[in-house]
Homo-oligomer: A and B are copies of this chain.
Amino acid sequence: MAPCASLLLPLFAILATLPIIQSVPTFFPGPSYDQSLAKIPKASKPKIPYKTHYFPQVLDHFTFQPKSSKIFYQKYLVNSHYWHRGAPIFVYTGNEGDIEWFAANTGFLLDIAPKFRALLVFIEHRFYGESMPFGNKSYKSAETLGYLNSQQALADFALLIRSLKHNLSSEASPVVVFGGSYGGMLAAWFRMKYPHIAIGALASSAPILQFDDITPWSSFYDAVSQDFKEASLNCYEVIKGSWAELEALSAQKEGLAELSRTFRACQDLHSLDSVWEWLWSAFVYTAMVNYPTEANFMMPLPAYPVQAMCKIIDGFPSGASKITRVFAAASLYYNYSRAEKCFKLEHGPDAHGLHGWNWQACTEMVMPMTCSEESMFPTSSFSYKEFAEDCMKTFGVKPRPHWITTEFGGKRIDLVLKRSGGNIIFSNGMQDPWSRGGLVLLFLFGILFSFQLTINGIYCGFLRHNNS
């Protein structure tokens, strides 16, 4: 019942609305409304023209069985408006979604492209968007999904970038990789593993330390809670108290019926889980996109949406129930445009099969998460045994919980980066709950990193460095 996610999709569990979530609620607490990538509004299309290309990509870079060399077509977008040959190439290392969505929401690259006369390239991650190695059978089973993981994705990027540079006769162009969330992890790891291809990386909101026991398991939800607490102590307390109120109501006769009405459910609710998950998603994703301006990445939202939510909660007369308040707050997330007449709190049977991240979470991306007493969510623990059992049941696969830190490191990463790769900007807003699993805390604790002063300055720095 606990809405705290032991595995959270890095940025958009919102995309992973699958029935499997229902069967493993503790570990796949995806939202219970019918929202999927396929429904991304047209406004998410890139605002400047990108030319779409498809690269013949190798299915398996790390084995050489006859079937390993199967080719699939990987989508990538190119804007050469500002570019001249030999100038830098800025590559967005796509994450778990349609690449056009990322292209539409990565303004920084567009902002700096003219200054550097840079070529912009957005590469879609295998098994997302249109880049399906087995077409519409890509998600069929562990046999096909087996090829979906970060190392294969990094190798895809390497092969594509090398080919692109060759075809453009621009082998000397410095390449800088960019990414946010899981894409940020990929950007950082790409620079670490392929320093001969990328001279630097901007890894935004990239929780590369959210593995093993490097980051305290409760830190993510503590950070979400802290955001709300900072906006308003009362707001935090209302949300924290709402779960028990919901549970008590649902235990009553006709409780679910009342909840269905209160939450304006399009269809009668069958369990409290969907309400919890609906609220949980609203609070967690709003904390993730608590941007200082109006934006429309996850959902259309006003500037500082956490503060806006708390204003709603605090604005009720003193006698109002916590349930009424949290519903109103969550409605800001789901219905800022006020277009929705009712909410689809439970999955329909035909929810879209975009559960790629759940697969990744069940194989390599094992990020243990708990909710502490300090969080505004019900407390929860993490049991690796249960998690592994759920993954086996859902996907027929056993997680490798220590693989990411074996492959990419994590412990004492500050020293490792200092002595090896470097040239990676880890950029996090401190209100971003993912900052706790990123490298920002290292700054706070004074364990050096000399970069991240002014991003622009550093870009100039390492581009000059490469060209010198």
Contacts and interface: CB of A to CB of B under 8 A. Distances in A.
Interface string A164-201: 00000000000000000000000000001111110100
B61 A60 contact: no
Contacts of A421: 195, 420-421
B363 A66 contact: no
A199 B58 CA distance: 32
Contacts of A64: 142, 145-146, 148-149, 359, 363-364, 397, 400
B158 A406 contact: yes
Nearest to A411: B196
A155 interface: yes
A396 B65 CA distance: 9
A152 B149 CA distance: 15
B142 A195 contact: no
Given A419-B195, A423-B419, A66 B159 contact: no
B195 A63 contact: no
A23 interface: no
Contact of A143 (B65, B147, B402, B465): B65
A151 to B, nearest CB: 5
A271 interface: no
Contact of A149 (B62, B409, B465): B62
A397 to B, nearest CB: 6
A409 B195 contact: yes
A413 interface: yes
Interface centre among A62, A146, A402, A413 (most CB of B within 10 A): A62
Contacts of A410: 196
A364 to B, nearest CB: 7
Interface string A103-142: 0000000000000000000000000000000000000001
A192 B191 CA distance: 12
A151 B62 contact: yes
Contacts of A423: 419
Contacts of A58: 400
Contacts of A195: 192, 409, 416, 419-421
B63 A149 contact: yes
Interface in A12-61: 58, 60-61
A321 interface: no
Contacts of A408: 196
A58 to B, nearest CB: 8
A136 to B, nearest CB: 19
A174 to B, nearest CB: 11
A250 to B, nearest CB: 38
Nearest to A58: B400
Contacts of A158: 406-407
Nearest to A147: B63
Interface in A358-400: 359, 363-364, 396-398, 400
Contacts of A146: 63-66, 68
25 contacts: A61-B151, A61-B403, A62-B62, A63-B63, A63-B147, A63-B149, A63-B152, A64-B148, A64-B359, A64-B363, A64-B364, A65-B146, A66-B146, A68-B146, A69-B398, A69-B400, A155-B407, A162-B402, A193-B193, A195-B416, A196-B409, A196-B416, A197-B409, A199-B419, A419-B423
